[in-house]
Amino acid sequence: MSVNVYLFFDGRAEQAIEFYKKTLGASVDFMMRMSESPEPPPADCPPMPGDAIMHSSFRIGDTVLMASDAPPSSDKPFKGFSLSLNYATEAEVRKTFDALAQGGKVEMPPGKTFWSPCFGMLTDQFGVGWMVGVEHKQ
């Protein structure tokens, strides 16, 4: 069994994935638009533009994430979780943190904590929460 994160973006999935490619080196494994579906959507689904992302799968490091565009009437805000990135050095933390923070909101700037020599928290421009830090070594 495996558990994967599935992110729903309000019409901005492709833009978010491009941002993660640029800032985190993400690579896309699969992407299908609504217009590319081999079957019509179920009758009870809200209409979506043909260029909306129906499903995508992408990697950040060794982690697979999935994403799509949420239907326009959907209200699925990103609440109650953050994605966590662990790096070996403070320089990597600060570089990644600064890149992800572009257009977002810094909640805790990178700094020393009792569990990490450098740790920070932010919400990116797409509403996704991130925790970025140096992994504590025992």
As a whole number of angstroms, the distance between CA 12 and CA 95 comes to 24
Do 9 and 62 sit in the same domain of this protein?
yes
Q: If you average pLDDT over every residue of the chain, what do you get?
A: 91
Single out the residue in 20, 47, 69 at which a domain terminates: 69
Look up the domain containing 104 and give its range: 83-134
For residue 56, what pLDDT is reported?
A: 97
Listed residue (99, 81, 93) closest to 136, CA to CA = 93
pLDDT digits (tens, 9 = 90+) for 25-65: 999 999 999 999 898 877 877 888 889 999 999 999 999 99
Residue 96, pLDDT > 70, answer yes
**97-102, long-range: CB < 8 A, 24+ apart:** 97/122, 97/130, 97/132, 99/22, 99/23, 99/24, 100/23, 100/24, 100/124, 100/130, 100/132, 102/23
**Residue 51 within any structural domain of the chain:** yes
* 13 within some domain: yes
Q: What residues does 86 pair with on adjacent strands?
A: 133
* Beta carbons of 28 and 58 less than 8 angstroms apart: yes
For residues 62 and 138, give the distance between their C-alpha atoms in angstroms, rounded to a whole number.
Answer: 23
> Does any domain span residue 78?
no
In terms of domains, do 89 and 60 share one? no
Write down the pLDDT at residue 76.
58
> Residue 21 contacts by C-beta under 8 Å, 6 or more apart in sequence?
27, 28, 58
For 56-90, write each residue's pLDDT tens digit: 999 999 999 999 998 765 565 677 889 999 999 99
pLDDT value at residue 10: 86
